[in-house]
Chain A
Amino acid sequence: MKRIYLFFSSLRESLLADLLVLAVLTVALFVFMDAYGMYRYITMTYDLTQKAGLHARAVYFCPSVDMDNMETEEQLRAIKSEVEALPGVQEVLIDRWGTAACGDMPVKVTASTESLRRMTPAPDRGKWFEEGINADGSVNVVVAGKQFNDAQIGDEIPVQIGPERKPYTLRVCGVLSIPAVVPSFGGYGSQVLTSTFFKSESGLLIGEDAFDTLFTEDIERISSQFFIDFDQNASQETIDSAQEALTRLGGYQTLEDILRDTRAFNATTFKQVMVRPIFYVVIAFVLLVSISLLYVFKRLKTFSVYYLLGYSKRRILADMAWRAGLIALVAGAVNFAYLHVYSSMVAAGKIEAVVGACYFGAEADGMLLLLVGGMFLLTMLASALVLRGKSAVVFLRESRD
């Protein structure tokens, strides 16, 4: 009670400075976290691609087929079989999907193979299923994106598939929240980046066995590009000849080149997106420390009186820690709310986004904690150094002269 009275009576003295520090800190953190989220949204595909565990010599392949032709799908399948038969080819990663009716909405259902699953972020809620189909015939599903953001683990989603609208029941095991980035091989160009392999969209991800049960070949679709991974033990000649065969069937880029180009692109993005916010944070740090020092100097006289009356050095430092801690806590809480409450509301379509697409994962939380903790420690360190250099009496004397 007394402590609180004292705390607030001293808080009043520095209220303006405290509010200024709080505002600067909150805004700087916000700008930084927002930019970080944007940067991560752009660059997260690099990490996801690496997680796929493809070998260094893997390639991203674009078959040459006539895209406007009715036979595109057949051509693609033919080429796929041809590629799979090439010596040295270990796996063809292909994106297979079909469309189901969910209520009166069409929804994309994707076959999540082992390799594709490695490229997919971990569900934000729940987890990946072990079995594609349960004993009772229900199909396990990980739901993704806006359309399914409110789904709960264990929910059942009725869908109908095919021209006869055969009904199936899908059981929710995991939820991938916004941005719900999932592998989707549907682009090719002169420069392929890892972002080419992903799409942020709503959909249902089910096991490969379940997919084969639900969709027949005439209603499933396959992507117009695919990844080809080579056997690690294959000789260079074998792979060279396989790649030569690929050149006849279409175009390809090596994963190595793609990763290198993406790194360059990410570096440029970093400069464009992150440098300024980092600068703001540094400014906020400097401002925070200077205001804190100013605060300590300004209060030196008060502290000396407190000390005279039996307020120990430890308690004086503890008071400063409370003040700095409270400021860091509020600034941290506002930004935490931005990271979680705001983004999940945007994700669920409850409010309009006021900033660009962002990705905040656990590492964003960690980053925020690091910044807030760092600022707190820095403030304390600066304040403690001012007081420590002098024995209590020195500041008693100095504040008097």
Chain B
Amino acid sequence: MIKLTNVNKFYPVGKTNFQALADIDLEIGKGEFISIEGESGAGKSTLLHVLGLLDTFDSGEYWFEGTDVRRMGDAKASALRNRRIGFVMQDFALIPHKTVLFNVMLPLLFSKTPLRGMRKRALDALEQVGIAEQAGKRVNQLSGGQRQRVAIARALIIEPALILADEPTGALDSQTSRQILELLTKINAARGITVVTVTHSKLVSDYCRRKIVMADGRIVQDQAAPASALAEGI
């Protein structure tokens, strides 16, 4: 589903370049549940942004569901992201003064989906994460765990191929973290949605079948080959 070959990315720092991703080779199959670990500054978020078509890279190749992403402009990449990729971020990335329902509907509002039926789909998504009764509340009236559920519902509404999570439990206590991880596991198992989550928490990586460790922009450890992960079945 995803294939990165020899991907490099540099950030300009003053007159020199800082290499944030170095020779990344990575293959991800449909239905995998992967954690990316590593010290702060290792390049985990950068990799996630590249995977999520949020950021460009300087050399190498990236194929997403059979499409060469490198040759895509921002408009096309954005449209693809809108249809296929859901995000769950540490700070939730919700619009706090808008309602839960509006937040969940937002990706569909950006898509070609007609307005009719959107509300029902949003309520269904909220049902799946167990907070349908909060639909009318504003996001800033919710707890951290509830907000992360809203973010997951927003990812689910587009029926994505891939959910990318950047430290999804970083702002939550351990019990709430566990609930969120169980939710992600359930989504991964029940619907075959690929989940890639960046973390430095041991708790999170325990939930994942494949562990990738990064350091200085490189992948230094990749515990299960994609083929074997696929062979395990979903």
Contacts and interface: CB of A to CB of B under 8 A. Distances in A.
Contacts of B94: 305
The winner among A5, A310, A313, A315 for most chain B CB atoms within 10 A is A310
B115 A9 contact: no
A313 B114 CA distance: 22
A5 B110 CA distance: 11
Contact of A1 (B85, B89, B98, B115): B115
Contacts of B154: 309
A184 B75 CA distance: 65
Contacts of B115: 1-2, 5
Nearest to A310: B82
B56 A310 contact: no
Interface in A147-192: none
Given A9-B102, A391-B56, A392-B54, A312 B95 contact: no
A313 to B, nearest CB: 5
Contact of B74 (A308, A313, A396): A313
Interface string A385-401: 00000011100110010
B82 to A, nearest CB: 2
Contact of B93 (A9, A308, A392, A393): A308
Contact of B111 (A310, A312, A313, A396): A310
A105 interface: no
Contacts of B89: 308, 400
Interface in A256-308: 302, 304-308
Contacts of A311: 78, 82, 110
User: Which of under 10, 10 to 19, 20 to 34, or 35 or more describes the interface residues of A?
Assistant: 20 to 34
A350 interface: no
Contact of B106 (A1, A309, A314, A392): A309
A201 to B, nearest CB: 62
Contacts of B54: 307-308, 392-393, 396
Contacts of A135: none
A310 B93 contact: no
Interface in B15-54: 45, 49, 52, 54
B91 A391 contact: no
A6 interface: yes
Contacts of A391: 55-56
Contacts of A309: 81-82, 87, 106-107, 110, 154
A312 B109 contact: no
Interface string B75-87: 1011111110101
Given A5-B115, A391-B55, A392-B54, A312 B102 contact: no
A397 B55 CA distance: 11
Contacts of A2: 109, 114-115
Interface in B135-188: 154
Contacts of B45: 397
Nearest to B166: A400
Interface in B192-212: none
Interface in A294-347: 302, 304-315
Contact of B78 (A1, A307, A393, A396): A307
Contacts of B75: 312, 314-315
A310 B81 contact: yes
Nearest to B55: A393
Contacts of A304: 93
B111 A314 contact: no
A305 B110 contact: no
Given A9-B102, A302-B95, A305-B94, A310 B107 contact: yes
Contacts of A315: 75, 78, 110
B109 A6 contact: yes
Contact of A400 (B83, B91, B110): B91
Given A2-B109, A5-B109, A392 B74 contact: yes
Contacts of A397: 45
Contacts of A6: 109
A397 B87 CA distance: 14
Nearest to A304: B93
B15 to A, nearest CB: 18
B167 to A, nearest CB: 11
Contacts of A308: 52, 54, 81, 87, 89, 93
A313 B76 CA distance: 11
Interface in A1-24: 1-2, 5-6, 9, 13
A353 to B, nearest CB: 47
A396 B166 CA distance: 13
A13 B56 CA distance: 31
B44 to A, nearest CB: 13
Interface of B: 45, 49, 52, 54-56, 74-75, 77-83, 85, 87, 89, 91, 93-95, 97-98, 102, 106-107, 109-111, 114-115, 154
Given A313-B74, A315-B110, 8 more contacts: A2-B109, A9-B98, A13-B97, A304-B93, A309-B87, A309-B154, A312-B79, A392-B54
Closest 7 CB pairs of A and B: A310-B82, A312-B78, A393-B55, A310-B81, A312-B75, A309-B107, A310-B78
13 contacts: A2-B114, A9-B98, A305-B94, A306-B110, A307-B78, A309-B87, A309-B154, A310-B79, A312-B79, A314-B74, A315-B78, A392-B55, A400-B91
Interface of A: 1-2, 5-6, 9, 13, 302, 304-315, 391-393, 396-397, 400
